[in-house]
Amino acid sequence: MSVYLLATLDTKGEEAAFLRTRLADQGVAVTLVDVGCLGKPAVEADVSREQVYAAAGANLAEVQERRDRGHAVTTAAAGAAALVWDAFDKGKVSGVLALGGSAGSTIGSAAMRTLPIGVPKLLVSTLASGQVRHYVGDKDILMLNAVVDISGINRISRAILASAAAAMAGMVRAREVAGQAAEYATADKPLIAATMFGVTTPCVEAAKKILTDSGYEVLVFHATGSGGQAMESLIRDGLIAGVLDITTTELADELVGGVLSAGPNRLTAAGERGIPQVVSVGATDMVNFHARETVPQGFAKRNLYQHNASVTLMRTTAEECAKIGAEIGRKLAAAQGPVAVFLPAKGVSAIDRAGQPFDDPAARSALFAAIREALAHAGASERVEVVELDQHINDATFAEAMARRLLAMLRVR
């Protein structure tokens, strides 16, 4: 096995060679992959750019003739992802290290995102100090800020790249010693996935204790968009036995236009896999934005709540809640496995209850009615259990009811 080192060797050859030497000095085997396109490689690769583009079903010469940088980067990313996955599947990859600017980061991260959680992934990028979600996605990618442009070896880049090599060597050796290659997938306890927000924490913690005491390991995902994506990915990978999807707030951001959407495929993986899922409507009373001044002008007169200096919440209207409920109902109706949806009549978050700023009984009623209507429209009313309780989502009895229902589903399964 070896670390796959990805770089555009026409522009980052010197830096890649430096990294390869540093890794070799620490006893780490390296496979150097050239993901460049137009210029002549500065150093010889172990995997040529021709092989990378061929892995994407493309011909390098034809891509070069187009002289379209965007097309070249997109094709190289697809090829690198296919090539690295194939090598990993054959037991050849101990980790992936990549470096670059926007192109190198796009290509390297695409390859990293194909690999399971636990495989070391390190991206040295000039873009690491900004918004990195589109690079990291739902995987455990470590990004190291290059500080200076990756353009030769100097006193700054030397220190950064040396740290990158040391970090990768340490991760690879630790993984080999600890035998972590499949540890998270072979644990004795079956895994339950749960979703949480700060405003649903009491509910999740109470339910988690019941599930843990019953012999399950509970993975809690922060419903911040990337958290929901990560959960859906692990479910699709077949690692999750059941889902306690208490906090479906990411659907509100997707449908209304907030910043914490998990994309259109949220709330689909469990249904596709046919595993038991107990779902609720936690924090669907809110859409998330950053600081107050980032709230779109069209929402300026809405019911806004300053959660902290960096987070502003907007109360969803009855009309928006109806859309969210319809989406929840539609997706649950398509599930191939057992489903129950729990509705808390007294509020769906810590700030949606009597006396709190987002208390809105009409919006809750619209949400619940839309879920029922969508299930009925799909002919799934008998198959998808709907449980409405005269409780708040953070009441201990509500949490217990959901946890017990999921345990019953798992026992039957």
Helices (H), 214-295: 226-236, 250-256, 269-273
Angle at 380 between CA 376 and CA 384, to 5 degrees: 115
Q: CB neighbours of 59 closer than 8 A, spacing ≥ 6?
A: 53
Give the residue among 356, 354, 355 at the shortest CA–CA distance from 390.
354
CA distances from 384 to 30, 114, 253 (A): 52, 33, 24
197-232: string of b/e by CB count within 10 Å (b at 16+)? bebbbbbbbbbbebbeeeebebbbbbbbbbbbbbbb
pLDDT one digit per residue (tens) for the chain, 413 residues = 999 999 999 999 999 999 999 999 999 999 999 999 988 999 999 999 999 999 999 999 999 999 888 999 999 999 999 999 999 999 999 999 999 999 999 999 999 999 998 999 999 999 998 888 889 988 999 999 999 988 889 999 999 999 999 999 999 998 877 665 445 444 579 999 999 999 999 999 999 999 999 999 999 999 999 899 999 999 998 999 999 999 999 999 999 999 999 999 999 999 999 999 999 999 999 999 999 999 999 998 999 999 888 899 999 999 999 999 999 999 999 999 999 999 999 999 999 999 999 999 999 999 999 999 999 999 999 999 999 999 999 999 999 999 999 999 999 87
pLDDT at position 187: 56
pLDDT at position 38: 84
Kindly compute the dihedral angle of the four CA atoms of residues 175, 178, 181, 184, in this order, to the nearest 10 degrees.
-120
d(CA 401, CA 236): 26
Sort strands 121-125 and 93-100 into parallel, antiparallel or unpaired.
Answer: parallel
Tokens of 96: 């992936």
Rg (CA), the chain: 24
pLDDT at position 202: 96
pLDDT at position 185: 47
Give the residue among 116, 132, 55, 27 at the shortest CA–CA distance from 124.
132
d(CA 400, CA 413): 20
pLDDT at position 296: 95
pLDDT at position 412: 86
Q: What letter represents residue 192's amino acid?
A: I
Domains of the chain listed by start with CATH number: 2-181 (3.40.50.12020), 187-412 (3.40.50.12030)
Tokens of 69: 């940088």
Strands (E), 19-141: 30-34, 93-100, 121-125
